[in-house]
A and B are shown apart, each in its own frame.
Chain A
Amino acid sequence: MSDALMVDVAGLTVDFKGPKGPIRAVDGVNLHLKRGETVALLGESGSGKSVTLRSLMRLHPSSARIGGKVEVDGRDVLKLSSRELAALRGPIVSMIFQDPGLAFDPVYRIGDQIMEAVRRHEKLSKAEARARALALFERVRIPSPDKRLDNYPHEMSGGMRQRAMIALALACRPKVLLADEPTTALDATVQIQVLLLLRELQRELGLAVVFVTHDIGVAVEVADRIAVMYAGRIVEMGPARDVIREPRHPYTQGLLLSRASHAPTPGARLAAIPGAPPDLADLPPGCSFRPRCGHAIDDCAEVQPEAVSVGAAHFARCIRTRTTAEAYEAVVA
C-alpha cells in the first residue's frame, strides 16, 4: 500500500478567462507522488507552478476550467462535489501559503483558527481541539505555545506566523501537503529554520509534499525530485541531484548558470537568460522557450517537444538534449 500513488496528475490543463479568450496557464502537466515523497515545482512567476499546486485541491476561481486527471489519495478531485471537496481539504490535502501575514484571518485568534479547522473535520470538543492546537504549536516549536494560541496574527513575527501556518496545515493530519513558496516571505535566517522544520515534519509524518518555489537552493534543500516549469509545462523533471548536476533543458541550465555561485570570477557578470517569459495568451509555435534559447534550430518551431529520457527517471522536453548536454559540460568545466 505504501507504494500506491498519493498524487496522480496526468494531462492537467487549467484555463483562465482572458480578455481575448481563454488563457492556458497549465498545459499537460503530469505529476506522480508516492507517500513520503517531496517534489519541488521550480519556475518563475507565471510559469504555472502555483496553478498546478492549487489544482490538487481545486482552489481556483470558479471561472477556471480544469481538465485532465487529478487524483489525490485515490479520489478523483475534479469530480468531487463541493461538499466532498470541503471534506478533502484539510484531512487529505492541506496547504501552506506563501505569506502567512495574509493567509490568516486578521480578526481571529490564531488558536481559534486552528481549532476551527480541526472541529470542521472531526467531532471534538473545544477543549480537545485546543489541546490538539497546543500539541501542534509544540511540534512546530513555537515558544510559550499556550500563550501564543491566543495571539492575533499581527502579534506574531513572520517566522512565528509561518510556523503557526504549518501547524494549521497539519491540524487535520493530512496525507498530502502543498507548500506554495512557504519561505519566500521570510528573512533568510528564518527561511532555513522553516525549511528544516518542514523537512523534519515531512519525514516524521510520511507526508507527500508538493513544494512550489522559484529558488533552486530551496528546491535542492527539500526535494527528492525537481520539476522545472516553463510557460505552463514541465520542461524537465528528475531526481533533484541529477537535475542540478546534469540539467538537460536549456531553461534549467540557464537558471543554474544565473546563480551567483556559478560566476567564474568575482565581479564578472552573471549569465542571465535573455528575453522575457512569453505571453501565455500568445505562445510561440513549437517549443515555448525557443525565442530565448541559444541552441534553437528551425525544427524547434515545428512541434511541441516530447519528453525525452535523459537518465533514470529524468526527462527533458527538448529535441536537442545531446547538444545542450555537451554545451553545459563545457561551460561548467
Chain B
Amino acid sequence: MLLYILKRILYVAPVALGVSVVCFMLVHLAPGDPLTAIMPVDATAEQQAEMRIVYGFDKPLPVQFGLWIGKVVTGDLGKSIATGRPVLDEVARAVKNSLILACAATLIGFALGSFFGFVAGYFRNSPLDRLASAISVLGVSVPHYWLGMVMVIIFSAQLNWLPPTGAGPGGSADWRPDLEHLRYIILPAITMSVIPMGIIARTVRALVADILSQEFVQALRAKGLGEWGVFKHVVTNAAPTALAVMGLQLGYLLGGSILIETVFAWPGAGFLLNAAIFQRDLPLLQGTILVLAMFFVSLNLIVDVAQTALDPRIQRA
C-alpha cells in the first residue's frame, strides 16, 4: 500500500510540471498589458520600460517561466501587482474560504444526492424514482448563477431571512463556523450544491440499480439477511465509486465557483480570480490558477488512494 502511494505521488510530478507550463502560457497568451492596470495613463515609454524590467516582463518567455517556476518551488508566488501583497497570502486566504464553501456545498450535495440516488435506485421506475430523477436532472441543468440570483431574491430580498452577499462579519479574513457566519454560507452553499447533488444522485442511482441486480444480493437474502442487512452491503459496494465522484465534484467546485462566488461576493479563489483577470494582475492570476490546478491534482491523488483502500479489487501493485 505504501509503495502504491509513493508511486502515485511520483506520477504527480510530470502532471504538475505540465500544469504549471500550461497555466503560465495561458496567462501570457491573454491579450492586454498588465502594466496598464498599475501605471498612470500618462506614463512615458521610458517609465513603462523601467517597470517592465522591475517585473521582469522584458525577458523572453522561457526565461520568465524559468525564473517564475524557480521561485514557485520555494513557495514564492511573487507579489500582486494591484495590492503589492504576497500572492501566496492572498491565494491562501481565498482558497481557505473557497474550501469552506466547497466543502459545505459538497456535503450538502453528497447527502441529498446519495439520498435521492438510493431512493431512485431502490424503487426504480416508480413515481418516487421519477421524482428523484427529475430533481437531479434539474440540478444539473439549471444555471447556478441564475439559481443564486433567484435564491437571493426569495430568501434575502423578499423574505429577508438570510444575508445576500459576503462572508459575514470580519470579511474574508476570519470565517468561523458560528451561527453568525453560518447564516452567510447557507445561500451560496445550497446554490453550489445543486450540481454535485444531481451528478451524485444519478451516479448512485445507477450504482444501486446495478448492485441490486447482481447475484450476490440474492445470495445475501438467501442467507437470511433482511432489507437493512442487504442495504449495508449495497452501501459498501457503492461507496468507492460514489466517493470518487464526490471527490471530483469537490475539485470542480474549488475551481469552478467563479460565478457563484461573484454572485454572492464570497471572498474565495473564484472571486479572487475574477478580480485578478479584470485588473490584469498577472502574478496573482498565475498563482491562483496554479494553486487551484495543484489542488485538483492532489485531490485526484487522494481519491485514487482512498478508492484503493476501499475497494480490495483494485490492484495495489
Binding site for B on A (CB under 8 A): 57, 59, 82-83, 86-91, 94-95, 97, 99, 102-108, 116-117, 120-121, 152, 154, 168, 171-172
Contacts and interface: CB of A to CB of B under 8 A. Distances in A.
Contacts of B312: 106-107, 152, 154
B275 to A, nearest CB: 46
Contacts of B74: none
A137 B275 CA distance: 67
B215 A87 contact: no
CB-CB nearest 4 A-B residue pairs: A90-B224, A89-B224, A102-B215, A117-B223
A104 B216 CA distance: 5
A82 B226 contact: yes
A105 B222 contact: no
Contacts, number: 75
Given A59-B218, A154-B313, A105 B233 contact: yes
A120 B208 CA distance: 23
B58 interface: no
Interface residues of B, number: 21
Interface string B178-222: 000000000000000000000000000000000000111011111
A87 B224 contact: yes
Contacts of A91: 224
A117 B223 CA distance: 6
A333 B224 CA distance: 51
Nearest to A92: B224
21 contacts: A59-B218, A59-B221, A59-B222, A82-B226, A86-B224, A87-B224, A89-B223, A89-B224, A91-B224, A97-B215, A99-B215, A103-B215, A103-B219, A105-B233, A105-B236, A106-B237, A106-B313, A107-B311, A152-B313, A154-B312, A171-B223
Contacts of B219: 95, 97, 103-105
Contacts of B229: 116, 120
A86 B222 contact: no
Contact of B221 (A89, A106, A107): A89
Contact of B216 (A82, A90, A105): A105
B222 A94 contact: yes
Interface string B281-317: 0000000000000000000000000000011110000
B237 A57 contact: no
B226 A83 contact: yes
A121 B229 CA distance: 12
Contacts of A172: 223-224
A107 B237 contact: yes
B225 A120 contact: yes
